Structure 1
Amino acid sequence: MNKYAELMNEIERRIEDGSIRGGQKLPSIRDLSDRYGCSKSTVVRAYAELEKRHVVYSVPQSGYYAVLKRVEADRRTETPVLDFSSPAPDPELFPYLDFQHCLNKAIDTYRHHLFTYGTSQGLPSLLAVLVKHLADYQVFARPGQIAISSGVQQALSILSTMPFPGGRRTVLLEQPSYRILIELLGLHGIPAQGIVRTENGIDLDELERLFRTGDIKMFYTIPRFHNPLGTSYAEKTKKAIAELAERYGVYIVEDDYLADLETDSKSDPIHAYAPSRVVYLKSYSKMLFPGLRVGVVVLPPELQETFALYKRLSDIDSSMLSQAALEIYIRSGMFERRKQAILASYRERLARLNEALDACNDTKDVRHARVRAGVHTHIELPGRVHLPTLFDRLYRQKRIVLKGIDAGYLASFEKRPIVKLSITQVAEDRIADGVAAIFDEIRKFKSR
């Protein structure tokens, strides 16, 4: 990351955590230059960019000051709910002004394209940018292998309903898994099978048996930061899945929706080990906002033509404006800078959550997963704890919102009493109190 971008992130972080208050005078250009070992021009550029984003303002002959921000304070005082259930990104971390600039630039740059239909594959200039962008995630593809969908959900709908080579029809998915896909399979009457996934992974022998004997056309998996468990596969497990897919001719549909929150530089997607058998899906909903509706699909050659046909008949093309804005956002370096800021915020919250779970969970029959990155984890309770009653009591007495994961199971699978804990909508300084209240209520249930 550029030095000026690092400096911007540091100033923004200190404003957000209250170290720098609204209206407070910021250090002089000379002071920051000496403190961070950079040139004065670097500091000037950082302050100029922050001023464009209305994070700071300048007063002639005086210096720079922090803009007073009321949103976070208002949210905490007016809405004392602790929502551990929401998967939505924190709106306070969204770069509204940055993205507004990209939208305006997109309208100006691509104004002629907005009055014509685009291509079902996607905006060509975005595809070119994505080739380099995806390489940073160890996903190497040519522009012809990449398709833009209206969110990952549309991509899953197309992949589930379109024919695959070999004529197989059954979709295999982890249990639990993404509830929208389960509902989609049921709606279309698509055969589905499941394989149990726990915090320790999956049974690879069982996976091989299903690949060998089942009518499996694709295996849908979320290898890292699993939804809803929050856990990730070990690298050896991802390699084993790739090897089995190649051996038995099964396609893997890899949903890497939280790839941007990866902190382990040695962690690669399954696609890196078997690109000819893996359909790679990437979302921008959690790093920007769900309403962007841009999903990226990297396809093996054998699936490209059929996917393109189904995509074209589905919606002709995905939003050209959203694609153009995303292209500018990535190409300008704004995406990488904002990603680092979001990653830092979520990393601190997740650390607080792990610490609170370790401190509060003193019962043998309640297990919690200690995840290394991402935005959520889970706790598994004994079967005698009635989850709806627990959730109701926590909301009425403590204003804490929790949800179970029953919708993430196929009807044929036993539903485990699991509670997902997400940190995207909970302020860092309230996480510990929230977890303590949750376990206090669990202990009351157990004592009865």
Structure 2
Amino acid sequence: MLKYELIYSKLMNKIQTGTLQAGAKLPSIRNLSQAFSCNKSTVMTALKKLEDQHLIYALPKSGYYVVDHQLPYKPQVNNCIDFATSSPSWHAFPYKDFQHCINKAIDTYQADLFRYGTARGLPSLITEVKKLLETYQIFTNEDNIFITSGVQQSLFLLSVMPFPNNRTTILVEQPSYHLYMDYLKTYQLPVKGIKRTMEGIDLAELESIFKKYDIKFFYTMPRLQNPLGTSFSKKEKDDIRKLAYKYDVYIVEDDYLADFDQNTKTDPLFTDDTEEHVIYLKSFSKIMFPGLRIGLAILPNAFIDTFQQYKNTTDIDSAMISQAALELYLKSGMFERYKKKVSEIYTMRANTLQQSIKTYLSKYKATTEICMHSHIELPREVNVNRLIQHLAQQHIYLATADHNFLNGFYRERILKLNVSNVDNPKIETGIKEIAHALNQPNHYF
């Protein structure tokens, strides 16, 4: 073993065992060179290696200090089958690649990262985002793109800011995005629901609501809807747009799973919007990781000034370091390579999920689209809570769609099935156990 590797190994051991804890000062270079009978450059090589691994940092004219003595967390292997969690498998993300982007962003932008940014977001990120959007058949000007702290911030701002149609009531699909439903309920905003099923929505009912109520905007997920896992056909999207134009209702399109749609011919509602009535939202949470908290909104020209004014009162700008790192991640081609890899994994899981549902749960009404989340509709006689509790004892975790509904709205008995965090070999096992439990009538009926 080379002398610098020995020094590195000894210091690493002291850091990992907690002998040198976070904030502790390392022995001086002179003391280390004496202790290991070597020259100072050898010690510096060892310290440089520890510094490159972000285990220590240098303080000019003072010395080296420990950043953190804890080892990086490694995902634990467990035997649970989690159909309830919808966030992506965090340990599948290529952290080393993104770490390069964070380090490079700090080197490249330096002082810019420690000033307040622009209200619309980092200009260089907006440029890269515009290129990405064009691959989804989304064509717009950079001036219409806003970087936000996730889709939630966009929804919050759009819900409270005035619209050109001077209306106040929000229309939402039922069921829909649970965090937005919680937001609407918490702040008691004027809201109405419209039923969405595997067959879509009743367009006659939609027109009746548009005509009768002062609908400000209609919030919808046309593609791979959460929690249903279904998509609108082109005709449905065309018809919804026509009704929006006719009754001067805006559409807020949440395209959160654009990266996973296997049908390359599917265009968003925004693509064919000729009258600037569609607001397009996208998040990077599902394809990357929720903690990044970066989303985007594409706004019609009439909304830009008002949205910017309201956004300025919430956070001035989304985290600059995250924006700069994401810009480099997109520009370098890392995002495209990672998207391809993770899409293949999720598509494999989605296929296994659909096949398993067809094999073991064929008597229940279920989504047929290839998506990482699906659901089955249960008959009224099934005690859903007892079913979930029973399967939890076998380490199979499930959730109902109760949080995806507004208070007082009729709720279908939906059992959500999400494979974002379920390894492919476990999916069939889990679905088989669900079917077995449902076939025990004395226990649940």
TM-score interval, smaller chain: 0.7 to 0.9
| Whole-angstrom distance in 1 between the partners of 2:93 and 2:406 | 34
Give the Cα separation in 2 of the matches to 1:152 and 1:161.
Answer: 15
Whichever residue aligns with residue 128 of structure 1, its letter is T
Indicate conservation of the 8 Å contact 1:243/1:274, yes or no: no
**Correspondence for 1:378 among 375, 378, 391:** 375
Counterpart residue number, 2:182: 183
- Alignment correspondent of 2:82: 83
The answer for the alignment partner of 1:328 in structure 2 is 328
1:104 partner letter: N
Aligned letter for 2:133? L
Distance in 2, Cα, partners of 1:260 & 1:433: 27
Of structures 1 and 2, the larger Rg is shown by 2
- How many angstroms does 1:110 deviate by? 0.9
Shift of 1:362: 4.2
Report SS of the residue matched to 1:439: helix
* Aligned match of 2:250: 251
Equivalence for 1:356? 356
RMSD: 1.5
Partner SS state of residue 139, structure 2: coil
Structure 1 residues 114 and 216: CA distance shift in structure 2, 3 A: same
Alignment match, 1:287: 287
Is 275-284 or 252-261 further displaced after alignment? 275-284
TM-superposed CA distance for 1:241, in Å, is 1.1
- 1:242 and 1:446 mapped to 2: Cα distance? 49
Q: Deviation per CA, 1:59-89, whole angstroms, max 9, x where unpaired?
A: xxxxxxxxxxxx99x743xx11100010110
- The superposition leaves residues 40-63 of structure 1 with CA deviations (integer Å, 9 ceiling, x where unpaired) of xxxxxxxxxxxxxxxxxxxxxxxx
1:173 Cα shift? Answer: 0.3
| Letter of the structure 1 residue corresponding to residue 304 of structure 2 | Q
1:443 paired with 2:442, answer no
- 2:122 corresponding residue in structure 1: 123
Tell whether 2:341 aligns with 1:341: yes
What are the within-5 Å matches in structure 2 for residues 153-232 of structure 1? 153-232=152-231
1:419 to 392, 397, 415: 415
Number of matched residues? Answer: 372
**Contact 1:217 1:250 survives alignment (8 Å):** yes
Contact kept, 8 Å, 2:376 with 2:416, in 1: the verdict is: yes
Distance 1:320 1:362 in 2: 49
CA contact (8 A) 1:385 1:446 kept: no
Give the aligned residue type for 2:373: H
Secondary structure at the counterpart of residue 296 of structure 2: strand
SS in 1 for 2:410: coil
SS at match of 2:147: strand
CA distance in 2, matches of 1:362, 1:83: 21
Inter-partner Cα distance in structure 1 for 2:188 and 2:387: 34
SS where residue 338 of structure 2 aligns?
Answer: helix
* Structure-1 residue corresponding to 2:99: 100
How many Å apart are 1:412 and its aligned residue? 2.5
What are the ranges of 5 or more consecutive residues in structure 1 without an aligned counterpart?
1-70
Deviation at 1:446, TM superposition (A): 6.7
Partners in 2 of 1:443 and 1:98 — Cα distance? 47
C-alpha separation in 1, matches of 2:372 and 2:409: 26
Counterpart of 1:17 in structure 2 is none
Task: Give the TM-score, by structure 2 length.
Answer: 0.81
CA deviation profile, 1:232-278 (whole Å, cap 9, x unmatched): 11111111111111121111000000100011111000001215111
Asked if the contact 1:282/1:296 (under 8 Å) is kept, the reply is yes
- Code of the aligned partner of 1:241: I
How far, CA to CA, are the matches of 2:94 and 2:265 in structure 1? 29
Contact 1:174 1:195 in 2 (8 A): yes
> Equivalents in 1 of 2:377, 2:167: separation in Å?
35
Instruction: Report the 3-state secondary structure (helix = DSSP H, G, I; strand = E; otherwise coil) of the residue aligned with 2:105.
Output: helix
Match of 1:410 among 406, 409, 420: 406
- Which is worse superposed, 176-185 or 334-343? 176-185
Q: State whether residues 246 and 274 of structure 1, in contact with CA within 8 Å, keep that contact through their aligned partners in structure 2.
A: no
Q: Is the 8 A contact 1:219 1:253 kept in 2?
A: yes
Output one character per residue of 1:396-439: Cα deviation in whole Å (capped at 9) or x when no partner. Answer: 1x210000011111122111110110111111011111100001
Pairing 1:296–2:296 present: yes
TM-score, normalised with respect to structure 1? 0.81
1:395 aligns to what?
392
- The 8 Å contact of residues 165 and 249 in structure 2, kept in 1 or not, is answered as no
Residue by residue over 1:159-216, the C-alpha shift from the partner in whole angstroms, topping out at 9 and shown as x without a partner, is 0011111210000000001121122122222100010000110011111111122110
Q: What per-residue deviation string (whole Å, max 9, x for no partner) do you get for residues 268-299 of structure 1?
A: 00001215111100000011100101010000
Partner SS state of residue 112, structure 1? helix
Give secondary structure in 2 for the equivalent of 1:315: coil
CA distance in 1, matches of 2:233, 2:126: 30
Matched, 1:368 2:394: no
Give the whole-Å Cα distance in 1 for the aligned partners of 2:441 and 2:147: 48
The aligned amino acid for 2:279 is V
Structure 1 contact 117–317 (Cα < 8 Å) conserved:
yes
- Using the TM superposition, give the Cα deviation of residue 333 of structure 1 relative to its aligned residue in structure 2, in angstroms: 0.7
